[in-house]
Amino acid sequence: MYLNIILKKGIMGFLDSIKGGFRLIKLDEKAASEIAKDPNSTLYGWIFIIIAGLANLFASSVFSIFSPYQSFLYGFLYYVASGLLWIIVLHGLAKLFGGISKLKEYFRAQSHVLLLSWFSIFAAIKIPFVPEIVGWLITIWGTVMSIVVLKS
């Protein structure tokens, strides 16, 4: 099924999904609804999470957050699992407070929020205070984007 999506839509479908993610970064509630309803966004959401995990892994490897004894695979799995866990926790909170979306729909939209985590690659710049500022901006704006997704 997912192979058919990739073959049918190809790179253009992925680029359209990135455009939807950028609309979401601009806090477009309509984009969140469109992404949640698009069944192709499930695959692209997984790709977004994987790329966000790789970007975070690269940024953290520059600062040697993981010791040499810990593999890059462990770090990658850590970032991907924490992204998935965050989506599940937010969906649970939304359900607790009266949300009506299904987990799959919420996953589609919330995974596109992780497009913002791709910018964590800039945290690898070793200029004083840049990594901290980038990290804080991603965290704050990601929280605002999550609220937009929860509302839509």
Query: What percentage of the chain exceeds 90 in pLDDT?
Result: 1
Who has greater pLDDT, 7 or 131?
131
DSSP per-residue string spanning 121-140 = GGGG--STTHHHHHHHHHHH
Q: How confident is the model at residue 57 (pLDDT cuts 50, 70, 90)?
A: confident
Q: Are 104 and 84 in contact (CB under 8 A)?
A: no
Answer left, alpha or beta for residue 104, where phi above 0 means left and psi between -120 and 50 means alpha: alpha
Q: 66 versus 93: which is more confidently predicted? A: 93
- Average pLDDT of span 30-45: 87
Residue-level pLDDT at 69: 53
Residue-wise pLDDT for 82-138, tens only, equals 888 988 998 888 888 887 878 888 888 888 888 888 887 777 777 777 777 888 888
Question: What span, in angstroms and rounded, lies between the C-alpha atoms of 56 and 39?
Answer: 27
Reference 90, options 115, 69, 110; nearest CA is: 110
Q: Which residue has the higher pLDDT, 43 or 63?
A: 43
The residue ranking higher by pLDDT, 75 or 31, is 31
- Residues 123/56, Cβ–Cβ less than 8 Å: no
Q: What is the pTM of this model?
A: 0.78
